[in-house]
Amino acid sequence: MKFLCQPRLFVMLFLTIAAQGSLQAMQPAPSNEAEQALAYVLKNDRVLSRTFGACPGLTFKRTQAKASKAFLIEGTCNIRNNPEEDADCPAYQVRATGTIDTPTHWTVRQLQLTLVCSG
């Protein structure tokens, strides 16, 4: 019983648990990161999820090197349930920048929308 109460054992145990947690946090992003990021942002961002239907041409990219924690989303999204009868302005040009918080969590920090009209 005396062996379990030694401070060294607790320190080693703590360091082992901490090292495992940090290794899990540093896992590389999956190869289909762009698809996952777009799906996540379109579902979870309040403005994007409530405003847009289909966004067929959106692109996702990290704004700098692979290790960058920032991203850029650009493209055109159709307005969901567009109230205009003639729908001459059916979409918005979207430019969103944000942070990659974890390999599976993205947060939009700045969103720019430009109305796209046919006339």
- Residue 116 · residue 91 · CB < 8 Å: yes
Work out the percent of the chain whose per-residue pLDDT is above 70: 69
Q: Tell me the average pLDDT across 83-109.
A: 89
Tokens of 97: 């920048």
89, part of any domain: yes
73, part of any domain: yes
Domain count of the chain?
A: 1
For residue 95, the surrounding DSSP H or E stretch is strand 91-102
Residues 68-95 pLDDT 10s: 789 999 999 998 888 776 678 889 999 9
36, part of any domain: yes
19, part of any domain: no
Distances (CA, A) of 61 to 10, 27, 75, 112: 44, 19, 12, 16
